[in-house]
Structure 1
Amino acid sequence: MVSDYNELEYYAKIIEDSMPDSWRLIKKITGVIPYGHYDGLEYDGSKGILLLLEGDIDVIFHWKDKNEVWHREALAKESLEIWIMPPEYRLSWKRFFVMKSLVPAKEVYSDEKIRVYGYTSHHIESLKEFNEIASSFPSITTGWPDSPYHTGVLSWVTWKEDINLIMREALPPTSTMP
């Protein structure tokens, strides 16, 4: 099943144009499903668009070196992953039976024309720097305790409400049919 990506792109653009000035689009991917929805399961239904949005707040990586000294490095920025999905898309009830399943992206808006899912996290700015730290020790303790993945807190505090409002007010895309 193939989604009408032109229509989904229309709604993606509305979200892009409505985010705060301090936020930016890092990546847009077509043909995806929301994070954690079909973890370990086959899926051949409708797919949508992922917007990876990044804010300007640093997320600190905590790590302990081999001498038991803790370090804190600003290696990431707050991020928000938004999936724009066709209205027929649904989270599978079968994922209930997947042991140790991922925490899935949550639905933040739905109506007869679209479904929107969101997931707060962090985006690593320099994978090279992160990998250097992570691979430099035989055994280290690491963590992202202040990541929006754990806290659910972003500088764009009203993102759910804003997306709901702009999607409710969005006019359907105009048809190209005569």
Structure 2
Amino acid sequence: MADETNDDRAQAPMVWALAVREAAQGPPLAELIVEVGDDLYAEFVEAAVDSGFTLAAGEPSVTSGAVEVGEGRVRRLVLVGGREIWEPDTRVEASPGWLAAAEGRGAAVLILVPPRTWPPGLVELGPEERLEVFNRQFDREQRAGRVLHGIVSVRLAGPSDSGWPARGAE
């Protein structure tokens, strides 16, 4: 990621990140943050809105989306009643804490951020500084009304569930 230019980032198919947040009530929340490049962004936003995602202000809405998890990793994101399938182009490992939070609620919060929300060079920073820099950019995008969120169901996928056509996994 350090050698990527803004143009390279705009063309990158997708960036996925997982987080676990404490909830005001009940078990922790599993979050899945997804950034897509310029070339996929409009199509992804359209599929997310068609699935019931809303602007990230207030509580996320329940959507028709689902995230499929298998073998300890995120396998795919299913939108628009199964008509849109998005898969990571690299392995997205799910920590035991994320898996427990997702299974505990049977759902995860999916947050869709616009291209270039992850600033270049983020990986080289220490954990606290990385979080601060990302949160600053995320807050900017959220205030500008460019972040969507929604609650997606979590489905456990078996190892043979890999023959579906997918977007973003080029």
Tell me, yes or no, whether TM beats 0.5.
Answer: no
- Larger helix share, 1 or 2: 2
Q: Which has the higher contact order (CA 8 A, sep 6+)?
A: 2
TM-score, normalised by the number of residues in structure 2: 0.25
In terms of Rg, which structure is larger?
1
TM-score, normalised by the number of residues in structure 1: 0.24
